[in-house]
Homo-oligomer: A and B are copies of this chain.
Amino acid sequence: MTLDSIDQRLLAALQKDAHLTSQELGEMLHLSASQIGRRRQRLEAEGIIRHYAARLNAHKLGLTVQAFVQVALKAHGPENAKSFARLIDSRPEITGAWALTGEADYLLRVYAEDLSALNSVIHDVLLPHPAVARVQSQIVMDQLKADAPLPV
């Protein structure tokens, strides 16, 4: 359960490149490949490593517009919240959604092919939903850092 310094460096390395072999990791961390494999299995079994994922280049997929959308709901009841959560789940272009403290209820991270597609998400998906009171979107002009590894 407790992570020693080798676990921490192992997690840092696997967050940068999940395809590093136990051999390579062993050389980096001065440990045998078999021990690396055992530690990795333990970290997976404990759920500290949730899964391994391919990271794609959004621009090369044609997703040239990225935006954050703040959404306020009409009433703060569990009914509205559940209905809104189902909407979020159903839209693949919404890749992140968080309930926040403060004035706006939710923050959404949205990818779109162009500005018109982004506006379509706002006007044809979010605003027509009965639980949604108002939305405000801000377009990403520059991405200084994105989905960086968690500090370990």
Q: Is the CB of A138 within 8 A of B100?
A: yes
Q: A46-B60, A48-B61, A150-B111 known; A53 and B16 CB under 8 Å?
A: yes
A10 (CB) vs chain B CBs: closest residue: B54
Q: Is the CB of A56 within 8 A of B52?
A: no
Interface string of A120-147 (1 = CB under 8 A from B): 0000000000000000101111111111
Output the least CB separation between A68 and chain B (Å).
6
Contact of A148 among B95, B139, B144, B148 (CB under 8 A): B95
Chosen A-B contacts, 23 in total, with CB atoms closer than 8 Å, are A14-B53, A14-B54, A16-B51, A16-B53, A17-B53, A46-B60, A49-B57, A53-B53, A58-B150, A61-B150, A61-B152, A88-B144, A89-B145, A94-B145, A96-B148, A97-B145, A98-B142, A99-B143, A100-B139, A102-B136, A104-B138, A111-B151, A147-B147
Interface residues of A (CB under 8 A from B): 3, 11, 14-19, 46-58, 60-61, 63, 66, 68, 85, 88-89, 92-102, 104, 106-107, 111, 136, 138-152
